[in-house]
Amino acid sequence: MKTKMGTRVAAAALCLMMGMALTSCNNAGLKDASITDAGLDQTQTLTNKTPVATPVQSASEDGEQQSVETQKYEQTQTLADPQTETTEEVAAGDTQPALEDGARVYDMTGGSAFLQNVRRLGRTYTAAYTMQSGDKETLDNVLYFNWSSSGFEIAFEGTGISVDLLNHRYGNKDDSGNTLDGTMYFYAFLDGSTDVNEAKLIKVANVERGTYVLAEGLEDGYHTVEVRRASRNVYGNFFDSRGLAGKAALASVKIEGSDPKLLHEPVARQRKLEFIGDSITCGDAIANYHGNANGNEDALRTYAAYTARNLNADWNVMSISGNGCIGSVLGGPLLDLPDQYLYTDAMGNGKVEWDFSQYQPDVVIVNLGTNDRACVDINKVVPDGEVATGKFTVEEFMNGVTRPFNAGDASTHHTGVKDFLNMIHENNPNAKIVWLCGAMGDELNPYIEQAINEWNEAEGETIAYFLGLPNDSTLSNGQGYDNSHPSEVAARVYAKALTEKIEEIMGW
């Protein structure tokens, strides 16, 4: 069953640079389920001003070696249980392309179905793409991967592999005529490694179609390469028709070697996680690749990525900076995550429903509430018989409400915490749910926890759990390059606590 939510029409003429964040607040007085700073082992030491190219050190703040317990959550090694080599060649009926100059190229020509042999990571989709330059060629069924941490994995035999990627933002101008910066970043993980500091960082330049080397000079034989997106889905101006989605797509694969071959898609990990969040889950200001004062996002260094590595799990991410459950940092509803949840990528692919059977997570993690603070008034009381207007009450935040937010709001329904729990549970009936909040402010934590408790009681069983996070400003080196969003140090602290919570819930 899929719950249909009303679409929102946001007020025009507003613009939000994605680095915006609400002022951090005191995080005192968290509930028992919360993490306290004193209760965390802060032995991961990457300072928030360390360039991402520098390997993460593993010494404690006083220079001593980490404890065994902390090392358990340093999961930067290769997988604990390496994936089984799948040495079968490509799917039956799909012929291997000709060997030319020691390489084979797999693309859309000649009826190739090579995408059948690519493991998709995240909410991806295939669609045609017409080149804006050259002969305006139309490519059939390129693989789009637009969400943070999304991507693909390939198994192959050979000594090297490169890919052609399409940059949908190439040459685009916004509604004001300004050229859009189409630069995006990706990581390539080789042969099951999960260490982001050993992975190859790939800069997808502002060109329409580029060739990018993922690995070269390998021993001739079986290999896997996993490509995941560090850059977020939504850029710059929320209300610009062409500036919204940072779309990227896989167009072709080139494998080199003595007898190079594309093999069947690699085996998926058994455990599956899904993360739904805002800029904290996007990893805003957690890295700095190109010297920006406020840094840039990196989804592979967030609490979500570290938690997945800790648990040796696959993970999907759906995160939009500046947005929340019922509203946005701008003070009203915008691209609220519940409105996006039923679709593969509503911003990049229209209202195409996501097929939840493709990926059934064991645990769904929600990290929302930070931006909702801007449109929820915890002190607001609506007298009996009156209809609320403007900012939501805490009851509306918890339970959802059917009313316009203001005169410019065309939506009649705004999803509360319980509504969203219903939506997640209906589409992932066997999954547990963990809701996080507090990394950049905890004002709504008590109401999120109350809503979860009431929802569990109505369900007659405990399905959802709450985990309060310490404010990043209270952690040593806890803030990122913008001195607001969590740093990689804070991300590891949060991941350690979340990992332990999931292990407790799931018995892992």
CATH number, domain containing residue 188: 2.60.120.260
Q: Is residue 392 part of a domain?
A: yes
- CA distance readout (Å), 29 to 208, 272, 415, 440, 490: 51, 33, 27, 15, 19
Q: How confident is the model at residue 406 (pLDDT cuts 50, 70, 90)?
A: confident
Is the confidence at residue 46, as pLDDT, over 80? no
Judged on CB neighbours under 10 Å (0-12, 13-18, 19+), 204 is buried
Is the CB of residue 260 less than 8 Å from the CB of residue 157? yes
Handedness of CA 10, 330, 239, 352 (dihedral sign): negative
336, 228: one domain: no
Q: CA-CA distance, 131 to 120, in Å (whole number)?
A: 23
Q: The tokens of 82 are what?
A: 């390496």
479, 374: one domain: yes
Q: What is the pTM of this model?
A: 0.83
Q: What angle do CA 404, 408, 414 make, to 5 degrees?
A: 30
Instruction: Pick the last residue of a domain from 220, 235, 262.
Output: 262
414, 394: one domain: yes
Q: Is residue 457 part of a domain?
A: yes
Instruction: Pick the last residue of a domain from 196, 227, 262.
Output: 262
Q: What is the 3-state secondary structure (H, E, C) of 330-374?
A: CCCCCCCHHHHCCECCHHHHCCCECCHHHCCCCEEEEECCCHHHH
340, 440: one domain: yes
Is the CB of residue 305 less than 8 Å from the CB of residue 147? no
Q: How confident is the model at residue 109 (pLDDT cuts 50, 70, 90)?
A: low
**DSSP state letter for 30:** -
Q: Is residue 239 part of a domain?
A: yes
Is the confidence at residue 316, as pLDDT, over 50? yes
Give residue 75's pLDDT.
37
Give residue 170's pLDDT.
67
Q: CA-CA distance, 455 to 309, in Å (whole number)?
A: 30
Is the confidence at residue 55, as pLDDT, over 50? no
Q: Is residue 4 part of a domain?
A: no
User: What would the pLDDT profile of 129-146 be if each residue is shown by its tens digit?
Assistant: 888 777 778 887 899 999
208, 308: one domain: no
202, 307: one domain: no
Q: Is residue 445 part of a domain?
A: yes
Q: How confident is the model at residue 350 (pLDDT cuts 50, 70, 90)?
A: confident
The per-residue pLDDT of the chain, averaged, comes to 80
115, 161: one domain: yes
Give residue 90's pLDDT.
54
Is the CB of residue 468 less than 8 Å from the CB of residue 476? no
Give residue 388's pLDDT.
81
239, 277: one domain: no
To which H or E segment does residue 464 belong?
Answer: strand 464-468
Of 45-49, 89-93, 236-240, 304-308, which range is least confident? Answer: 45-49
Domain of residue 462: give its range. 37-50+58-72+271-506
Give residue 351's pLDDT.
84
Is the confidence at residue 59, as pLDDT, over 90? no
368, 482: one domain: yes
Q: How confident is the model at residue 77 (pLDDT cuts 50, 70, 90)?
A: very low
Q: Which residue has the tokens 């189409």?
A: 182
Q: CA-CA distance, 505 to 508, in Å (whole number)?
A: 8
198, 257: one domain: yes
Q: How confident is the model at residue 334 (pLDDT cuts 50, 70, 90)?
A: confident
Q: Is residue 79 part of a domain?
A: no
Give residue 36's pLDDT.
42
Q: Is residue 161 part of a domain?
A: yes
142-156, 202-216, 398-412, range with greatest mean pLDDT: 142-156
Is the confidence at residue 273, as pLDDT, over 60? yes
Is the confidence at residue 57, as pLDDT, over 50? no
Of 233-247, 313-327, 481-495, which range is least confident? Answer: 233-247
The alpha carbon torsion through 248, 254, 260, 264 (nearest 10 deg) reads 20
CATH number, domain containing residue 313: 3.40.50.1110
202, 276: one domain: no
193, 154: one domain: yes
Q: How many domains does the chain have?
A: 2
Give residue 376's pLDDT.
95
30-34, 49-53, 341-345, 465-469, range with greatest mean pLDDT: 465-469
Is the CB of residue 151 less than 8 Å from the CB of residue 122? yes
Instruction: Pick the last residue of a domain from 235, 262, 289.
Output: 262
Q: Is residue 323 part of a domain?
A: yes
Is the confidence at residue 402, as pLDDT, over 70? yes
Q: How confident is the model at residue 232 (pLDDT cuts 50, 70, 90)?
A: confident
User: What would the pLDDT profile of 180-218 be if each residue is shown by its tens digit?
Assistant: 667 889 999 999 999 999 999 999 877 889 999 999 999
Is the CB of residue 187 less than 8 Å from the CB of residue 148? no
